[in-house]
């Protein structure tokens, strides 16, 4: 049953004012029986035509329509849920009944009403300047169209009972501008008590177009179009505008045109008016805490708008190019600062030379879709799910069914803006010849989910059953349902998680930061908090060693070294647990906690062989923070930007290691007044498994590290740390990782610029075995079929951690070029511009080659040496391998052939030179030539206190990792050990001083107060190659292993050897 065109407002008093409720029609009976007919054309709100030359509609337009399932009398016996539709149209066009084709009205609610057994309402509201013109002050506050909607909701709340509607179950839903309207009502104090649930289809209050930031600019354009003065007061300007002919007001400003510079600079939308929207959307979230929310977007929502700016988008055989992406980066909205445009290009451009002709079409389309719709939708969901006071549920979808425009759109086209509407309103059954059976099923599913949600706040619970169980969204899983024609066939597998997370983060964190930085006006609310939807409560007052993070409050503790107090915060989560479907995926931000979290014990370490469930767990992404305590002031005083920060990445060949007690940083922090952060990251298969494609791109361990770096950037000020003075340092695989962060485009936005590399750099990445093959072998070991990527990943996600760790034993996992974290081989990324952004402290240990000790000891004589060289290098250097033999054979010693120690010394030195000294020397040369500050060292001290060193023969020099206990102060942790090893204690203090001076000033020789070290450390450059030999005593030298370095870096790669060597 339909009641059409019920009069909502008796007057709008005068132009640009809120509506006034209709006074009623007394004892007369209002005739609402005309139904949906062509008479409705005269009842739509006055609006500009599609040609933007004329108008249609009327000022007398505030009407609504009511559909009742089963008739009023039946509904009043058992009141039905109410669904109120708010139409879209850029706040400039449209009506509550929508377009009409062959007497088929787009927003005819009858099919939805009958399918879900609900009461449905649609409404008109004022549009264009009549509904949304604002001067930003009392002369014309704006938001009149939204206030019309409030009046309609108030009417529904007060009157829908008479139609059989349940006033305790009112759901508002809308698309595009109507979708954003729903979002605004979720936040507005005026609407708070008028409904209970909301559905937003492609638009929210956080969409880039939803809030007009400069309303007076548009009011002045209207005035100019009407020949009204713009240089007088806003009151005088509005007096002139109000007196102008109504049609002239409506057509004074166009909406979208190919002749406009920026089409997405929309003139009409909401403004922060201090009344309907009293504050920014992020500060009004509490008003939606008691409401259920279902929201989503179409996967190619931006296509409608891209096609206006780039007509070639729809010409199938006409490619688009990088230049089009650059152009798009300046057009998706108005006033884009250059550094934002540059960042957009960085985020969306190809990092491969093998992209097809559609790549840049899709990239430009993604820019529009993400910026205009997807990012705002996801951010809104995060906010709604994060509120500690919330009692409402959150459900998120992505509609991806291909557009029904095959002859106009390219074959790869997905769901355009508004493509979902035809299915919500069941057009597949009303015009069956145009649609497939799958599309009819999908339409039924959409109506089921929407109306079930109106019944219960849960799309799974209501009169009908959907084809897939739709799990609620939360900050840990970020579930969403993909809706398309395959929904019935896909069933529960249509549920996915973490929709375009990297791009959502880009638009939610990086873009606002860059934009506001360009304007020189920063929000009071931290943008990173907004992006993570963190509303974690503040720490309690007067609580010692409690610190606020974006995810919640942590409780640390104090400790002493040598009578000096420091504090430590252990086991702080920097990511959500990477378990279940998050296994073999990039990490996500930690879930908010609301109690004070104890941070006095290390978290479990990441699984590694042999597996021990008592100490290891997949939930292992924790970090530890060690902080100096200034006892001259209150011990709990936080002074932002006070201390420099050092972030440690542990070694272990990517398969072992952790950030636990071995790296307790009390000595460094207390003695040198720096903050030290240590962290776990996923290892072995869990951290680096890759299928070489989108199913498991790899490098998850590096993304763990990247997220930890971002955690430091966002949170360290709460620990008195300076996020602008951060040094990354690592050893072995940790050094390789640190170097990769200096090259990766994902880490460069963090702004860090100092790195310490201890025996490792990224240019040796190609020495690791083929990682796709390694991963297939691992899969086979685990009992999975490795022939197809998707099934392999699914199988491995079903295995226990114990099974995975067992299957990976003796396999070497490593990072890969993934076209994202590493867009190219590290060697190719080391351009001058990248290198010049960093200051470097780097070096090697005298016997770093002990990492391949088993091979070293396999060489008993010269013949074995030759075989080792052949096995190790023949695949790379071919016949030139014999030249390596020549270089590392002691030709001057006639006994060399049978002298086991000498042979092993040469093999050890060969491995040290080839894998450590030569690559790091090459990096040092390149960095120095780019203008960077470089300090180089060799660590030569053989530690008499080290059990690890003692496990090698006495002739072996400082083994791989020998410097680590000196960096961390092992020998000076107690007076007894310091007194027992005075030379080692002295070297320890020197190393700590060099390292922490570098963290403070970029120069290991002096701290922030100008204090100098006793032994000056000279700068390295490619000509003098000066370095510091860290031994007892410390001394400077030059040209470390100069000839051998030249051999590996300059000679061997250029040799074109086609003849075999004779006599070897």
Q: Which of 176, 188, 567, 747 is catalytic?
A: 176
Pairwise CA distance, residues 691 & 789, whole Å: 6
1021 in Cβ contact with 928 (< 8 Å): yes
Q: Which residues are registered as beta bridge partners of 728?
A: 647, 755
The Cβ-side half-sphere exposure at 986, using a 13 Å CA radius, reads 11
331 Cβ contact list (under 8 Å, min separation 6): 261, 262, 263, 264, 309
Q: Is 294 helix (H, G, I), strand (E, B) or coil?
A: strand
511 Cβ contact list (under 8 Å, min separation 6): 340, 343, 344, 371
DSSP H helices, 165-233, are 177-187, 215-225
- Among 581, 413, 368, 589, smallest CA distance to 495 is for 581
> Which two tokens mark 615?
């100490």
633 Cβ contact list (under 8 Å, min separation 6): none
Q: Is 172 helix (H, G, I), strand (E, B) or coil?
A: strand
The Cβ-side half-sphere exposure at 783, using a 13 Å CA radius, reads 8
Pairwise CA distance, residues 745 & 659, whole Å: 26
Q: Is 757 helix (H, G, I), strand (E, B) or coil?
A: strand
Pairwise CA distance, residues 1031 & 982, whole Å: 13
The yes-or-no answer on residue 301 being catalytic is yes
584 in Cβ contact with 696 (< 8 Å): yes
Q: Indicate the angle between helix axes 733-743 and 700-715, nearest 10 degrees.
A: 70
Pairwise CA distance, residues 422 & 535, whole Å: 38
67 in Cβ contact with 58 (< 8 Å): no
Q: Which of 87, 401, 417, 960 is catalytic?
A: 417
Which stretch of DSSP H or E encloses residue 344?
helix 338-348
Q: How does 98-129 read in b/e, with b if 16+ C-beta sit within 10 Å? A: bebeeeebbbbbbbbbbbbbbbbbbbbbbbbb
Q: Is 335 helix (H, G, I), strand (E, B) or coil?
A: coil
Q: Is the dihedral of CA 398, 400, 403, 408 positive or negative?
A: positive
Q: Name the CA dihedral angle for 698, 704, 706, 707, rounded to a multiple of 10 degrees.
A: 130
Pairwise CA distance, residues 757 & 937, whole Å: 10
Q: Which residues are registered as beta bridge partners of 774?
A: none
Pairwise CA distance, residues 460 & 430, whole Å: 25
The yes-or-no answer on residue 176 being catalytic is yes
- Among 13, 82, 23, 89, smallest CA distance to 50 is for 89
105 in Cβ contact with 98 (< 8 Å): yes
> Which two tokens mark 557?
């503790």
SS (H, E, C) 1016-1045: CCCCCCCCCCEEEEECCCCEEEECCCHHHH
- Tell me how far the alpha carbon of residue 765 is from its chain's centroid: 26
Radius of gyration of the chain (CA): 34
Q: Which of 301, 714, 970, 984 is catalytic?
A: 301
Burial of 79 (0-12, 13-18, 19+ CB in 10 A): middle
466 Cβ contact list (under 8 Å, min separation 6): 445, 448, 449, 452, 459, 460
Q: Is the dihedral of CA 154, 158, 163, 166 positive or negative?
A: positive
Q: Name the CA dihedral angle for 263, 500, 364, 377, rounded to a multiple of 10 degrees.
A: -10
What residues are labeled active site?
A: 176, 301, 417
């Amino acid at each position: 049953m339909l009641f059409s065109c019920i009069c909502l407002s008796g007057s709008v008093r005068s132009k640009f004012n809120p509506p006034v409720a209709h006074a009623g029609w007394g004892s007369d009976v209002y005739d609402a029986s005309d139904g949906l007919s062509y008479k409705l054309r005269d009842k739509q709100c006055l609006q500009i035509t599609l040609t933007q030359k004329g108008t249609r509609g009327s000022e007398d337009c505030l009407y609504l329509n009511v559909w009742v399932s089963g008739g009023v009398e039946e509904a009043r016996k058992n009141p039905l849920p109410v669904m109120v539709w708010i139409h879209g149209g850029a706040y400039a066009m449209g009506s509550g009944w929508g377009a009409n084709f062959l007497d088929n009205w787009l927003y005819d609610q009858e099919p939805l009403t009958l399918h879900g057994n609900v009461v449905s309402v649609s409404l008109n509201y004022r549009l264009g300047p009549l509904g949304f013109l604002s001067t930003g002050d009392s002369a014309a506050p704006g938001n009149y169209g939204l206030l019309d909607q409030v009046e309609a909701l108030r009417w529904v709340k007060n009157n829908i009972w008479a139609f059989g509607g349940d006033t305790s179950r009112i759901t508002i839903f809308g698309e595009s501008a109507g979708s954003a309207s729903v979002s605004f009502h979720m936040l507005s104090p005026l609407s708070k008590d008028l409904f209970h649930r909301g559905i937003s289809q492609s638009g929210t209050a956080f969409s880039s177009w939803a809030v007009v930031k400069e309303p007076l600019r548009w009011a002045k354009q209207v005035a100019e179009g009407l020949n009204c003065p713009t240089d007088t007061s806003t009151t005088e300007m509005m007096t002139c505008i109000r007196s102008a002919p109504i049609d002239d007001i409506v057509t004074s400003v166009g909406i979208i045109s190919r002749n406009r510079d920026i089409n997405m600079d929309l003139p009409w939308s909401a403004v922060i008016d201090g009344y309907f929207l009293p504050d920014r959307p992020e500060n009004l979230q509490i008003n939606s805490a008691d409401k259920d929310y279902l929201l989503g977007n179409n996967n190619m929502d931006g296509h409608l708008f891209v096609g206006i700016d780039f007509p070639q988008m729809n010409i199938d055989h006409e490619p688009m190019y990088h230049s089009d992406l650059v152009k798009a980066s300046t057009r998706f909205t108005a006033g884009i600062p250059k550094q934002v445009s540059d960042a957009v290009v960085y985020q969306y451009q190809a990092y491969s030379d093998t992209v097809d002709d559609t790549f840049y079409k899709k990239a430009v389309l993604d820019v529009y879709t993400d910026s205009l719709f997807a990012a705002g939708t996801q951010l809104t969901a995060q906010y709604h799910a994060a509120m500690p006071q919330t009692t409402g549920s959150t459900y998120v979808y992505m509609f991806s069914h291909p557009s029904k425009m095959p002859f106009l759109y390219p074959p790869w086209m997905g769901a355009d803006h508004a493509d979902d509407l035809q299915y919500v309103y069941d057009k597949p059954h009303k015009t069956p010849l145009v649609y497939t059976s799958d599309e009819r099923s999908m339409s039924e599913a959409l109506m089921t989910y929407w109306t079930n949600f109106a019944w219960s706040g849960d799309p799974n619970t209501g009169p009908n059953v959907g084809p897939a169980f739709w799990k609620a969204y939360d900050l840990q899983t970020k579930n969403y349902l993909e809706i398309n024609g395959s929904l019935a066939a896909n069933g529960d597998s249509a549920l996915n998680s973490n929709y375009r997370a990297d791009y959502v983060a880009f638009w939610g964190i990086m873009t606002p930061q860059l934009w506001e930085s360009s304007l020189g006006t920063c929000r009071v609310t931290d943008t990173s908090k907004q992006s993570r939807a963190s509303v974690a409560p503040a720490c309690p007052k007067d609580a010692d060693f409690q610190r606020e993070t974006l995810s919640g409050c942590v409780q640390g503790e104090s400790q002493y070294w040598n009578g000096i107090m420091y504090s430590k915060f252990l086991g702080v989560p920097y990511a959500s647990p990477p378990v279940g479907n998050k296994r073999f995926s990039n990490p996500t931000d930690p879930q908010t906690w609301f109690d004070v979290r104890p941070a006095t014990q290390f978290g479990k370490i990441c699984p590694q062989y042999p597996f021990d469930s008592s100490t290891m767990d997949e939930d292992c992404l924790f970090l530890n923070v060690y902080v100096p305590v200034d006892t001259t002031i209150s011990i709990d005083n936080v002074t932002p930007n006070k201390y420099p920060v050092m972030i440690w990445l542990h070694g272990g060949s990517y398969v072992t290691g952790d950030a636990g007690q071995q790296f307790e940083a009390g000595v460094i922090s207390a003695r040198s007044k720096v903050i030290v952060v240590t962290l776990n990251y996923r290892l072995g298969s869990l951290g680096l498994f890759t299928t070489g494609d989108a199913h498991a791109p790899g490098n998850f361990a590096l993304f763990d590290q990247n997220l930890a770096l971002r955690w430091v950037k966002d949170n360290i000020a709460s620990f008195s740390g300076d996020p602008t003075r951060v040094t990354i340092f690592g050893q072995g695989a940790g050094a390789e990782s640190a170097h990769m962060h200096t090259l990766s485009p994902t880490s460069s936005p963090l702004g860090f610029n100092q790195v310490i590399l201890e025996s490792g750099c990224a240019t040796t990445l190609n020495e690791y075995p083929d990682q796709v093959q390694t991963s297939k072998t691992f899969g086979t070991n685990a009992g999975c079929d490795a022939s197809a990527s998707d099934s392999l990943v699914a199988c491995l996600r079903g295995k226990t951690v114990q099974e995975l760790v067992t299957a990976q034993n003796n396999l070497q996992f490593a990072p890969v070029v993934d076209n994202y974290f590493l867009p190219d081989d590290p060697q190719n990324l080391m351009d001058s511009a990248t290198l010049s952004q960093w200051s470097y402290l780097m070096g090697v240990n005298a016997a770093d080659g002990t990492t391949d000790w088993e091979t070293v000891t396999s060489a008993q004589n010269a013949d074995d040496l030759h075989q080792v060289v052949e096995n190790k290098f023949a695949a790379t250097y071919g016949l030139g391998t014999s030249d390596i033999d020549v270089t590392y054979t002691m030709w001057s010693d006639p006994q060399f052939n049978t002298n086991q120690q000498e042979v092993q010394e040469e093999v050890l030195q060969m491995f040290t030179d080839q894998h450590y000294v030569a690559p790091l020397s090459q990096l040092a040369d390149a960095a120095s030539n780019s203008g960077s500050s470089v300090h180089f060292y060799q660590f030569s001290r053989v530690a008499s206190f080290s059990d690890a060193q003692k496990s090698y023969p006495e002739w072996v020099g400082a083994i791989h990792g020998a410097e680590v206990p000196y960096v961390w102060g092992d020998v000076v942790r107690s007076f007894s050990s310091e007194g027992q090893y005075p030379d080692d204690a002295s070297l320890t203090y020197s190393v700590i001083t060099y390292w922490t001076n570098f963290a403070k000033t970029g120069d290991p020789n002096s701290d922030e107060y100008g204090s100098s070290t006793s032994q000056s450390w000279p700068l390295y450059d490619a000509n003098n190659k000066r370095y510091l030999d860290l031994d007892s005593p410390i001394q400077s030298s030059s040209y470390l292993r100069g000839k051998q370095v030249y051999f590996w870096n300059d000679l061997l790669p250029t040799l074109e050897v086609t003849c075999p060597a004779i006599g070897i």
